[in-house]
């Protein structure tokens, strides 16, 4: 698709001649071949090889830094660098050229292509955002009064070119979303929402925000993105669980409980998504129901509400035991501790011993403490 856009826009570039006065000053240039500057430009013009022309024009920039021909020379270099796919040099030439013609749509579009291909993401995002209103303005330009055939053709060519730039700019923003570093992806998504509010690429944007923040290591940003995503799509069990777990880690037990209850209720009511088998969905429902109870049980454990904690934690055993690993070890420790705390006449010792044995066996942060507690239980028997 990238190559198609490049080809289409290359054709449009060649056919677009609807330039403003500033644009004409860097294109329709009268060169005095008898002057020192004009002699160099004449030499560049008759050079047969692109590399030779580039060398002459680069030398011109060094030798005549105050020349009135600088805009013209930079335009030539931008085109030559682009033809050679020397994207970093094309971008540098475009940046200087835009100081002369900041509203020149062709120059800015060519600059955008150079920035994208050289992966200069922050500069690309800013340039694309600046390009869209320029292209919109040219695409909406009224036709000339009583135009000649040539004027009509020039007008239509300019409109088509502007529309092509609008399409390319939208596409390029989406490339930034998918290919730039995660922190930059967020900026590209913000730009897409701002300048293309009806874009086809906005599908699934909420989840893309979450992933970008997560990959960038921005936890606060990720949590905010999940909350916004749930406002638009309240049935995302993974987001609800993550928000419940995060609230618990922040000692916000009220929110943790509310999210956990929301998760458990969702798993009771949500039908299997399209393309998911009944067996797969039952496993998913069991898993997230258990995770909801696990968060609630952990929160009550932290408050010392041993009986309520144990009630929730016992509803997680089958799923978390099948999962194995650290979480099963922590679950075993919490259950063992609850049974110890709730022991009245020694009737819970067997369960406390079982769960502390499990907690001391499975690698987890409480493993050493579980082993000590297990020894104390055995010593007291």
For residue 19, the model assigns a pLDDT of 44
pTM: 0.82
CA distance 140 to 10: 21
- Sign, CA torsion 150/152/155/156: negative
- Residue 92: helix, strand or coil by DSSP? helix
CA distance 164 to 136: 11
What are the structural domain ranges in the chain?
A: 2-175
| Angle, helix 278-303 to helix 306-314, in steps of 10 degrees | 170
In sequence order, what DSSP letters do the residues of 32-77 get, joined into one string?
A: -TTSHHHHHHHHHHH-SSHHHHHHHHHHHHHH-TT-TTHHHHHHHH
Element (H, E) at 277: none
- Angle formed at CA 245 by CA 241 and CA 248, multiple of 5 degrees: 140
CA distance 216 to 174: 18
Closest CA to 121 of 172, 155, 156, 79: 172
Long-range CB pairs of 371-379 (<8 Å, 24+ gap) are 373/336, 373/337, 373/340, 377/340, 377/349, 377/352, 377/353, 378/353
Closest CA to 258 of 240, 238, 236: 240
Please answer whether residues 106 and 98 qualify as being in contact, where contact means their C-beta atoms are separated by less than 8 angstroms.
no
- Sign, CA torsion 154/155/158/159: negative
For residue 265, the model assigns a pLDDT of 97
CA distance 16 to 5: 16
For residue 24, the model assigns a pLDDT of 55
Q: Going residue by residue through the chain, which has 381 residues, state the pLDDT in tens, using 9 for 90 and above.
A: 444 344 334 434 433 334 444 555 788 888 988 999 999 999 999 998 999 999 999 999 999 999 999 999 999 999 999 999 999 999 999 999 999 999 999 999 999 999 999 999 999 999 999 999 999 999 999 999 988 999 899 999 999 999 999 999 999 999 999 999 999 999 999 999 999 999 999 999 999 999 999 999 999 999 999 999 999 889 999 999 999 999 999 999 999 999 999 999 999 999 999 999 999 999 999 999 999 999 999 999 999 999 999 999 999 999 999 999 999 999 999 999 999 999 876 778 999 999 999 999 999 999 999 999 999 988 876
Per-residue CA distances from 282 to 16, 95, 289, 348 (Å): 60, 57, 10, 33
For domain 2-175, which architecture applies?
A: Alpha Horseshoe (1.25)
The token duo for 348 is 């819970």
| Residue 310: count of CB within 10 angstroms of its CB | 22
């Amino acid at each position: 698709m990238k190559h198609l856009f490049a080809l289409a826009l290359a054709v449009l570039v060649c056919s677009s001649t609807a330039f403003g006065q500033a644009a004409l000053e860097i294109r329709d240039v009268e060169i005095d071949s008898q002057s020192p500057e004009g002699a160099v430009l004449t030499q560049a013009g008759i050079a047969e090889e692109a590399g030779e022309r580039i060398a002459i024009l680069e030398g011109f920039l060094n030798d005549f830094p105050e020349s009135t021909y600088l805009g013209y020379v930079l335009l030539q270099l931008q085109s030559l660098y682009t033809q050679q796919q020397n994207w970093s040099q094309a971008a540098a030439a475009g940046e200087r050229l835009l100081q002369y013609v900041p509203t020149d749509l062709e120059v800015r579009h060519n600059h955008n292509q150079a920035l994208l291909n050289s992966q200069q993401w922050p500069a690309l995002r800013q340039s694309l955002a600046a390009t869209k209103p320029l292209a919109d303005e040219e695409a909406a330009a009224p036709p000339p009064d009583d135009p000649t055939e040539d004027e009509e053709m020039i007008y239509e060519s300019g409109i088509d070119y502007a529309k092509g730039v609008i399409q390319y700019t939208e596409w390029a923003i989406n490339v930034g979303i998918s290919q730039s570093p995660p922190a930059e992806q967020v900026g590209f998504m913000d730009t897409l929402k701002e300048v293309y509010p009806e874009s086809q690429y906005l599908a699934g944007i909420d989840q893309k925000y979450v992933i970008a923040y997560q990959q960038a290591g921005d936890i606060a940003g990720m949590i905010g993105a999940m909350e916004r995503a749930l406002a638009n799509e309240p049935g995302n069990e993974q987001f609800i669980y993550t928000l419940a777990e995060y609230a618990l880690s922040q000692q916000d037990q009220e929110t943790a409980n509310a999210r956990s209850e929301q998760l458990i209720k969702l798993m009771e009511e949500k039908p299997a998504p399209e393309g998911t088998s009944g067996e797969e969905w039952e496993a998913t429902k069991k898993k997230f129901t258990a995770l909801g109870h696990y968060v609630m049980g952990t929160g009550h454990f932290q408050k010392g509400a041993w009986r309520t904690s144990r009630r929730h934690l016992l509803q997680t055993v089958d799923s978390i035991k099948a999962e194995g690993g650290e979480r099963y070890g922590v679950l075993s420790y919490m259950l063992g501790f609850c049974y110890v705390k709730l022991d009245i006449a020694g009737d819970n010792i067997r369960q406390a011993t079982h769960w502390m044995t499990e907690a001391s066996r499975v690698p987890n942060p409480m493993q050493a403490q579980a082993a000590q507690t297990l020894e104390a239980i055995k010593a007291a028997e």
